[in-house]
Amino acid sequence: MTTHTTPAYDGLAATFQRLHRLHHLQSIASWDQAANMPPRGSEARGAALAEMAALMHRVRTDPRLRDELQRAEQEPLSDLQRANLREMQREWQHSNALPESLVQRAQLATSRCEHAWRKQRPANDWAGFVENFREVLACGREEAALLAEQSGLSKYDAMIERYEPGMRCAQLDRIFGDVRQWLPGLIQRVVDKQSREAVIAPDGPFPVPAQRDLCERAMRLLGFDFDAGRLDVSTHPFAGGVPEDVRLTTRFREDEFLISLMGTIHETGHGRYEQNRPRELLGQPVSLARSMAIHESQSLSFEMQLGSHPGFANLLAPLVREAFGDQPAFTPANLNKLITRVKPGFIRVDADEVTYPAHIILRYEIERPLIEGEIEPEDVPALWDAKMAELLGIDTRGNFKDGPLQDVHWPEALFGYFPCYSLGAMYAAQWFATMRRQMPDLDQRIARGDLSGVFDWLKANIWEQASRYTTDELAQRATGEVLNPAHFRAHLEARYLG
């Protein structure tokens, strides 16, 4: 007869399993709110989600968890159980810093702000947006102050910690400060080089049903499991749901097909990470994706490293021709030129991989003082205009729709998330540099349609590892070094100037 020696740990595991199931319902309700819900459902759904957020918060802050966490520390746990306990403690600490009233108020404020934002953005209505955003920002600042007080971090560091554990503004300032030095010159050199290259524009329109079919075929090519997920439409593309039921969204325009296609490929990277998280650990915090920079490294491995790879255009071209008919623009070489066209633009999600970091640096440099209380919402448009002019040479004055209203992150209070995108691009470049070292014929394999090397490497080194290791440990084990932004610069120079 075996002796039961981990009662405290087992009690915690049961609690977190319950939270996982509640999160399942919360995720599907949030996806439905963005993809399906009729407008008049907004207020009731906001109230229901606030109730769910409060219920989950109550479970996480149950006083008996403190005792169970302390007792579990003394129990004979395996390395995996210890890693799970570390993640449980992180979640517990974060939740216990925040009162239930704030959690509920924040959920109501973001539901209201995000729903109104959907109409305010196309109407270029910054003034209307700010009225709702004030309450979202107030909740965000309150959360930042409480988390900072509990953790001893600065307010913005405490917000980053929610998405990217271990990352600090000091490191971001070094990384982004370096990118700021070389990026504008690189953009100019690439634009000059590409201006001398002929590229054929495709002839539209591109009917939405054909685009949707094309997107789903690209998802299948990339190994997405449609028995455990689906593709829908939303105002802002995202990946949601749960590993057993991954919900991806995209958006379509009849005059353009590459934006929806590449956006779908991006979300497919998120989706495959979720679908390949370790099944035997689901329901426990250790089964969760390591961090949002690691999550974005998956979407950007798919969209940028793979989707913009010249060899990958060989696989896409026949699918594009089947969707829209044969035309000169759809040769693999021309398609790759279209995909890798570098042109400073207003919209972050439509940006090429060379100009993309400028969009992230701009948001980081505005969002941080916003959370720290150094600037107010009224200051955002002027700062936005100045930084867009400086970083990308673009005039955004008076254009709120394609300026500070373009992203869903601020209405949804995702303060601290934006840096993860560029960190993700840097990790993705590091993953592929390692793959090339380990598989010298990787580029030839991609060109002939063999993507198994990429997927096998990501599955073994990232997807199945989930949150077993810290981010630095994960990167070290996968590549032999922690985050090294030099790989990102080398990748851009090789692809666009080589």
| pTM for the full predicted model | 0.95
Q: Tens digits of per-residue pLDDT, 92-136?
A: 999 999 999 999 999 999 999 999 999 999 999 999 999 999 999
Residue with tokens 């949804």: 412
SS3 240: strand
Domain regions of the chain by residue span: 170-497
CA-closest candidate to residue 296, choices 349, 222, 256: 349
- Tell me the residue type at 401: K
CA angle, 460 then 464 then 467, to 5°: 125
Residue 237 confidence (pLDDT) = 87
Mean pLDDT by 10 residues, the chain (498 residues): 77 97 96 92 93 95 96 97 97 95 95 94 98 98 97 97 97 97 97 97 96 98 97 90 95 95 96 96 96 97 97 97 97 97 94 97 98 98 97 97 96 97 98 98 96 98 98 98 98 96
Alpha helices by DSSP H, 286-355: 292-300, 310-324, 332-339
Q: Tens digits of per-residue pLDDT, 370-413?
A: 999 999 999 999 999 999 999 999 999 999 999 999 999 999 99
Residue with tokens 């150094």: 374
Residue 453 confidence (pLDDT) = 97
Q: Which residues pair with 231 in a beta bridge?
A: 248
Residue 3 confidence (pLDDT) = 52
CA-closest candidate to residue 387, choices 413, 420, 362: 362
Helix (H) or strand (E) holding 29: helix 7-35
Residue 350 confidence (pLDDT) = 86
Backbone angles phi, psi at 465, to 5 degrees: -80, -25
Burial of 5 (0-12, 13-18, 19+ CB in 10 A): exposed
267 counts as catalytic: yes
Helix (H) or strand (E) holding 145: helix 126-151
**DSSP labels, 367-419:** HHHHHHTSS-GGGHHHHHHHHHHHHH----TT--TTTTTS-STTTTT-TT-TH
Q: Which CATH number fits domain 170-497: 1.25.40.80, 1.10.1370.30, 1.10.10.10, 2.40.50.140?
A: 1.10.1370.30
Catalytic residue among 87, 114, 164, 267: 267
374: left (phi over 0), alpha (psi -120 to 50) or beta: alpha
Query: Strand 245-250 and strand 229-233: pairing?
Result: parallel
CA angle, 318 then 322 then 327, to 5°: 80
Residue 2 confidence (pLDDT) = 46
Q: Which residues pair with 241 in a beta bridge?
A: 246
